[in-house]
């Protein structure tokens, strides 16, 4: 087994390799004078079980770098290539719900498969149905495995809230594992990242609230929901959002919001200008490391997330 990292999130890749007691493989990621990406493996990988760690978060060059690394490994006769995607980007367009729109999630899935990938490992997809876009083995991990312990240390009881209807299944899984009640916020959008109206379904009065979602982008959905929950009588409001995209004025929104703490993972590097006292990063390295070890040893990884799928 050999593990290689792209440039999108090398710190996480180093933690994963450290968990496995390994060093990252030697791959040269360069640029031609016009900006084109070049990839060259500086060690023999013929017949090896190769794992390439690279989130496909923006910019789109991260996807291209991943594809070139897969192609180079395929042409170097790697026995099996597993694309480890801590964050599967371009996933929000996963269905044709309006005329003349792209299905970016399907396109990215096709690109990864066509490049020569044998298997995909990722964490908290924006929509679980994206797994069906792949015709190769696909392992989907869940961040609740490492967020649950943090939440239990904060609250003995409370209500798990999905900030939108799409997060209801995820919220129900958290509620089942925590033994908490469940509520959901129904939102109406007027366009991308624009929320026109929100409605609360469930009772949260005089209760601690945990909002769960797969990502936090602009923070608009989360902060608007927190404002409604506070007005409805919620006590302390905490959020667990796996992928910290934090674009635009997200940090300012969080600082000004009713949310007291936000748990995020390290699937996307957190830049210095995107840090806040309200944000606590929980590493996903041990989860990915354990999954990679089990894949290599042809062992089941279902025990890592079976209870989350209720």
Report in angstroms the alpha-carbon separations of 137 from 80, 119, 122, 146, 214.
Answer: 12, 5, 12, 24, 22
Question: CA–CA separation, 52 vs 235, rounded Å?
Answer: 43
187 part of the active site: yes
Catalytic residue among 2, 106, 187, 207: 187
Buried b (16+ CB within 10 A) or exposed e, 48-60: bbbbbbbbbbeee
* Residue 211 in tokens: 């909002």
93 neighbors 105 (Cβ within 8 angstroms): yes
Residues designated as active site: 187
């Amino acid at each position: 087994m050999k593990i290689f990292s792209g440039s999108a999130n090398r710190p996480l890749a180093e933690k994963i390799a450290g968990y496995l007691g390994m060093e990252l493989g030697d791959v040269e990621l360069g640029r031609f004078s016009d900006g084109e990406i070049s990839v060259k493996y500086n060690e023999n990988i013929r017949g090896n079980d190769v794992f390439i760690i690279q989130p496909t978060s923006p910019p789109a060059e991260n996807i291209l770098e991943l594809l070139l690394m897969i192609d180079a490994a395929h042409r170097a006769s790697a026995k099996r290539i597993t694309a480890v995607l801590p964050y599967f980007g371009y996933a929000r367009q996963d269905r044709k719900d309006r005329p003349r729109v792209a299905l970016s999630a399907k396109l990215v899935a096709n690109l990864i498969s066509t490049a020569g990938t044998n298997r995909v490992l990722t964490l908290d997809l924006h929509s679980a149905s994206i797994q069906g876009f792949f015709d190769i083995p696909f392992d989907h991990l869940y961040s609740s495995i490492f967020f649950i312990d943090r939440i239990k240390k904060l609250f003995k009881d409370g209500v798990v809230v999905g900030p939108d209807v799409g997060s209801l299944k995820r919220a129900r899984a958290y509620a089942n594992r925590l033994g908490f009640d469940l509520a959901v916020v129904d939102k109406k959008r007027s366009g991308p990242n624009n929320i026109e109206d929100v409605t609360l379904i469930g009772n949260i009065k005089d209760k601690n609230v945990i909002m769960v979602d797969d990502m936090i982008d602009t923070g608009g959905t989360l902060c608007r929901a927190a404002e409604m929950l506070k007005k409805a009588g919620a006590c302390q409001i905490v959020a667990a959002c796996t992928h910290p995209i934090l674009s635009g004025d997200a940090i300012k929104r969080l600082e000004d919001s009713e949310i007291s703490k936000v748990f995020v993972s390290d699937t996307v590097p957190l830049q210095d200008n995107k840090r806040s006292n309200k944000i606590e990063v929980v590493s996903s390295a041990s989860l990915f490391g354990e999954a990679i070890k089990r894949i290599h040893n042809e062992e089941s990884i279902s025990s890592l997330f079976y209870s989350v799928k209720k």
